[in-house]
Structure 1
Amino acid sequence: MAGNFEKEEKILTEFLKSIGPWRKHIVIGGGYAPIIYKLYFGERSKGNPPVGTRDLDSLLPRKVPAASSRNIATFLKDAGFERIFRDRESPPTEVYVKDIEGDEVEIEFLTDDSTRGDKTENVSIAGVVAQPLSFLKLSLKETLDFETQAGETGKVVSPGAWIFHKGLTFPRRSSGTKYYKDLYGIWYAGNQIGKFSENALKDLKKLRKENPAWSKTFCQNLSNWLKDASPSDWTKLEAQDPFGVLKRLGFEKLVKDF
């Protein structure tokens, strides 16, 4: 990622423009959240940028009021996104793909798994298929509004809720690469964006106090990782930061501050 964030700015602007009035119901999470934090809430010229990503995780509540006579899928199709099916589930897992600024950007929709039915079953929402994830309800509730330089507005998961969710879910990652990226993201959002990171940790403590059962799982997950991490694990984690700032001692101190 370039320090001027020009490509990321254009990708976010185009995505928000593409979804039209549905943006008021969609919350951006995943790896793009730290990018948004740095772009619109931190100081662009200070510190190192977060590691880039081509995946734009878009969070949706299970039920949303109609924002337009055209659904989300139609808006994306009209904006040049191609829908690709990833499996044979019913409904099938899908992503929306488009080349933006030379990158193949993937839009994936996610929702919370709060249902009396099958918690793993994909859900059709406003014309798109969303995959259910555990602990996502808080991420849909705790959000920040932002505006791109081009004037497009959107919502992003608050940093406290984002760190909380990553700490709750990283042990479930099937991909080793994503596992370490989640831990890197926790460190970046909680340590590398100056005053914004300080406020993120205060927000995290408030959310943990309000959600004691989740807080216990969050602490156990990180404590177990610190206890069991091998030298190879630390090498892989530190390698996530291309600028070489992330070090074991700093990560351990951050987790203890939680």
Structure 2
Amino acid sequence: MSDLADFTRLAVTLEPWRHQIVFVGGWAYRLYRYEPRAYTPEYEAVFTQDADVAYKEREALEGNLKEALIGAGFEEKLNGDFKPPAARYTLGDEANGFYAEFLTPLSGSGKKRNKQTGEFEEDATVVNGGVIAQKLRYLEVLLHAPWVVNIPAAESGINEEVAGLRIPNPVSFIIQKLLIRDRRAADKRPQDVLYIHDAIELFGASIDELAPIWKDLEATLTGKQRRLVSDGVAELFSEVNDTLREAAIIPSDRQPDPEDMLKLCQFGFGKIFDMKS
């Protein structure tokens, strides 16, 4: 992978905080291939240049991550009107380079009172450990029972193993995408459907091990959230639809059939949710 060395630099820089952080988003999907239970596909993972780094709500990150990142060659780029503004930590050219963003769960109303003006404003960002993190709904799902993977020395880009990288278990990965589907831009939904399909395919041989994970995760969800999950499955995976068709044309090195994608996802959900045929 052409940018694996950049991700490795990020992972090495954040080594002191690995026990607190979870790599989520597209990089979790790519790192699944280093999980022993995953099968090795012939196709490449979908490219992503951003690394999302998540941590639990209100968990203190000791030390100064921002100083560590700057010392490793990252630059903080601020944007937006939030207080504090949203931030990216970039390597190389801002438009084309690798970058990291920090995320933490959003709970409550999503509003906070400005201590100076007394008015309510968006509760969208927070400073922790020197870095600015975005607050997102349903992110706590990705932090439930994370798995741990290692990047082997031969692939890390630094000739050393990068160990102890925490990523969401595949059930959490799938469920969070179902929960956020209505919050995602329309052009992002096909990619999420492809991620769901590929996650089920990667762990197809051990799919029976995922049902207990769902039982544990389900117990942490509200009734509304459980309905959102079931509604998401019905909306996206009841029949071949435009979203599935668009998902099928995303990869450049394979041509999955939408009907086959649908059947695999329905099979996977039946196993994960322990549905009896």
Under TM normalisation by the shorter chain, which class is it? 0.7 to 0.9
Report the TM-score when normalising by structure 1. 0.83
The sequence identity of aligned pairs, in percent, is: 21
> Contact 1:160–1:202 at 8 Å: present in 2 too?
no
For 1:235, give the aligned amino acid.
Answer: R
Give the distance between the partners of 2:69 and 2:184, measured in 1 at CA. Answer: 28
Selected match of 1:90 from 78, 83, 90: 83
Corresponding residue for 1:171? 182
User: Which SS does the other structure have where 2:180 is aligned?
Assistant: helix
User: Which SS does the other structure have where 1:147 is aligned?
Assistant: strand
1:34-59: CA deviations, max 9, x gaps? 11111333567544332121111110
Aligned in 2, Cα 1:15/1:46: closer, same or farther, shift over 3 Å? same
Task: Count residues with an aligned counterpart.
Answer: 247
Report the TM-score when normalising by structure 2. 0.78
Aligned in 2, Cα 1:54/1:241: closer, same or farther, shift over 3 Å? same
> How many angstroms does 1:171 deviate by?
2.1
Aligned in 2, Cα 1:212/1:63: closer, same or farther, shift over 3 Å? closer
Give the distance between the partners of 1:94 and 1:79, measured in 2 at CA. Answer: 17
> How many angstroms does 1:80 deviate by?
0.4
Structure 1 segment 21-170 matched on structure 2, within 5 A: 21-42=16-37, 45-68=40-63, 71-99=64-92, 104-115=97-108, 118=111, 120-149=123-152, 150-152=160-162, 153-170=164-181
> How many angstroms does 1:82 deviate by?
1.2
Aligned in 2, Cα 1:203/1:50: closer, same or farther, shift over 3 Å? farther
1:93-144: CA deviations, max 9, x gaps? 11111149xx611201111112466274211111111111111113223211
Aligned in 2, Cα 1:89/1:212: closer, same or farther, shift over 3 Å? closer
Moved more, 75-84 or 193-202: 193-202
Q: CA RMSD in A?
A: 2.7
User: Structure 2: where are the runs of 5+ without partners?
Assistant: 112-121, 153-159
User: Structure 1: where are the runs of 5+ without partners?
Assistant: none
Moved more, 178-187 or 203-212: 203-212
Give the distance between the partners of 1:234 and 1:187, measured in 2 at CA. Answer: 10
